[in-house]
Amino acid sequence: MKFTKVLALVLACVMCLGVLASCGGGDVNYAKDNTKIKIGASGPLTGGAAIYGIAVKNSAALAIKEINAAGGIFGDGSMFFDELVMTDDKHDPTLVAANYASLYEGGVQITLGTVTTGPALEFKDLSHDDNVFVLTPSASGDAVPEYDNAFQMCFADSNQGTASAQYFNENYQGKKVGAFYKSDDEYSTGILAKFEEALDASFGTVTKAAFVEGDSDFSQHVQNLKECDIIFMPIYYTPASQFMTAGIGTIKNNAIYYGCDGLDGVDSVKNFDINTIPQEVSYLSHFNSGATDGAAKTYINAYREEYGADAPLNQFGAAAYDCVYAIRDALVAAKAAGKTFEVNTSASDFCDILKDIFTSDSFVFHGVTGAPEADGKSNISWNSTGYVNKEAVKYIVKEANEAN
């Protein structure tokens, strides 16, 4: 019974907090006190997927720092970005609502959405209700840009699956195809389904080996795939590096490992020497974290200088870096198009402005992801569905040790 009093006391406290917090409900502009434009995001900063979230956090913060150092958004010192606000969602959709609300009510005007697809499916509905702009660096699910306020910097999963299958159809006819995928992951299964759909019938059935979260012993998967000439790996790079290590001596030496954008960063896993892998390792992606020239190299150098050699560097980060610059460019374009906005314009108004710019045909962003043009930067644009248009490139991380 004393406990019921504690209950009453605690609930009363919660209530008071609620009353205090409720002072600004309704359709208010939470950003009205901002002195700089605030960008926010949600992503895994702890837990198993933390490397992806941390890369996004670092890269977006780097881009903001660079833009501010170069005189702000317009280069004339008139308008700056505030420091990035990044909340931790542990790749868990149940945590997204609280994160979204804290970002939105904390005065964030433009968001990078979430880093991974699962949480993004919550984020898209919440942000759509409030009309908040989302440009996600890496949540690649097909359903992520369902509403008009959301755009992707990465390729959608189905596009990656189809593009990979087309590459196989053109280049690898007659070879035996295997697939190593993560059966409880939407990214992996999404790509693989489209890949199988678009693959020519002449390849026959794809030999498959599935793993789930928490698996790390891949000796059996290697056994299943040892007859294959090409192994398609629509997975992220950590399990890929483990799988390839487990495959030394069992997988054919002239086989080819072929992945999607998740494979980028495979050669950066600490203490993992990709040269111990005898096979060819390649992937179709919009970014190569081993790039040696162009804008990508500039980004990599800046990132390494800022965060040191041990910080995670992968396509997630590169896409986030591009996201911030794309938002900057869009704001510049908006100003040129005669739209007016201030540092304390509401998230909804920013969303309307940015939507127009991003869907307009004339807006082309030059970034570090995608196939570089002559100037080292790529051409990136968006269509009205929110999917990105840019050139993917097949990067060969490592050539085969012996000629095929």
Partner 1 sequence: MASFMNKLSKIKWNHYVNYAAVAIVAIVFSAMTFAGGLPQSTLFLLEKTTMNIVLAVSLSLVVGFLGELSLGHAGFMCVGAYIGGKTACLLDGAIDGKGILSFIISLAVGALVAGVFGFIIGLPALRLKGDYLAIVTLAFGEIVKTVFENSSKESFGGPIGLRTPRFDKQYLFIIGFILVLLTMFIIQNLIRSKHGRAITAIRDNEIAARATGINVTKYKLVGFIISSSLAGVAGVFYSFANSTVKAAVFDYNYSIEILIMVVLGGMGNISGAIVSATVITYINTQLQTLLTGDLAVLKDIIYALILVVIIIYNNAPSLKFFREKYNMKALVSKIFKFVGKPSAGKDDESAWHRVPTKIEMNEILSTDLKVVESTLEPDKEDKG
Partner 2 sequence: MDFIVTLVNGLSLGGIYAMIALGYTMVYGIAKMLNFAHGDVIMVGGYTVLVFLAVNPVLAIVMSVIFCLLLGIVIEKVAYKPLRGASPLAVLITAIGVSYLLQSLALIIFGAAPEFVIIANLGTLDLGPISIKYSTIITLVATVIVMTVLSLFVKYSKIGRAMVAVSEDRDAARLMGININMIITITFAIGSALAALAGVCSLLNVPTITPTYGAMPGIKAFTAAVIGGIGSIPGAMVGGILLGIVECLCKAVPEIAPYTIAIEFAILIVILLVKPTGILGKKRREKV
Is 143 a binding residue for partner 2 by CB under 8 A? The answer is no
Taking a C-beta distance cutoff of 8 angstroms, is the pair 161, 189 a contact? Answer: no
Among 183, 238, 348, 359, binds partner 1 (CB under 8 A): 183
Looking at residue 81, the DSSP 8-state letter turns out to be B
Name the helix (H) or strand (E) containing 388. strand 388-389
Interaction between residue 207 and partner 1 (CB under 8 A): no
Task: Kindly tell me which of 40 and 312 has the beta carbon lying closer to partner 2.
Answer: 312
- The candidate with the shortest Cα–Cα distance to 300, out of 319, 282, 318, 325, is 318
Binding letters toward partner 2, positions 194-233, x by CB under 8 A = -------------xxxxxxxxxxxxxxx-xx---------
Q: Cβ 6 to partner 1, closest distance in Å?
A: 5
Q: Give the x-and-dash track for 84-113 against partner 2 (CB under 8 A).
A: ------------------------------
Task: Kindly write down the DSSP assignment for every residue of 7-67, as one continuous string.
Answer: HHHHHHHHHHHHHHHGGG-SS--TTTT-SSB-EEEEE-SSSTTHHHHHHHHHHHHHHHHHH
Q: Which is nearer to partner 2, 49 or 331 (CB)?
A: 49
Establish if 401 lies at the interface with partner 2 (CB under 8 A): no
Q: Who's near 300: CB < 8 A, 6+ residues apart?
A: 289, 291, 313
Verify binding: residue 308, partner 1, rule CB under 8 A. no
Which of 32, 75, 77, 94 is the binder for partner 1 (CB under 8 A)? 94
DSSP 245: H
- Residue 71 site contact among partner 2, partner 1, none (CB < 5 to 8 Å, cut-off depends on kind): none
Within residues 281-340, the interface with partner 2 by CB under 8 A covers: 310-312
| Residue 264 near residue 287 (C-beta atoms within 8 A) | yes
Q: What is the CA radius of gyration of the chain?
A: 23
| Nearer CB in complex with partner 2: 46/173 | 46
196 binds partner 1 (CB under 8 A): no
Q: Spell out the residues 6+ positions from residue 75 whose beta carbon is closer than 8 angstroms to its own.
A: none
The pattern of x and - marking residues 237 through 276 that bind partner 2 according to CB under 8 A reads -x--xx--xx--xx------------------xxxx---x
- The whole-angstrom separation of Cα 381 and Cα 319 is 14
Q: Which is nearer to partner 1, 89 or 267 (CB)?
A: 89
Q: Which residues pair with 284 in a beta bridge?
A: 394
> In this structure, what token pair is assigned to residue 404?
């095929």
Partner that binds at residue 88, options partner 2, partner 1, none, CB closer than 5 to 8 Å by kind: partner 1
If one counts every other C-beta atom within 10 angstroms of the C-beta of residue 133, the result is: 26
Write out the binding residues for partner 2, residues 22-61 only, by CB under 8 A: 46-48, 50-51, 54
Helix (H), strand (E), coil (C) string for 196-244? HHHCCHHHCCCEEEEECCCCCCCHHHHHHCCCCCEEEECCCHHHHHHHH
Closest by Cα among 246, 117, 234 to 182:
234
Q: Segment contacting partner 1 (CB under 8 A): 16-24, 70-78, 356-364, 379-387?
A: 16-24
Q: Return residues touching partner 1 (CB under 8 A).
A: 1-11, 14-15, 18-19, 21-26, 45-46, 57, 61, 84-88, 92-95, 97-102, 104-105, 117-118, 121-122, 124-126, 129, 141, 143, 183-186, 188-190, 212-213
Q: Return residues touching partner 2 (CB under 8 A).
A: 46-48, 50-51, 54, 183-184, 207-221, 223-224, 238, 241-242, 245-246, 249-250, 269-272, 276, 310-312
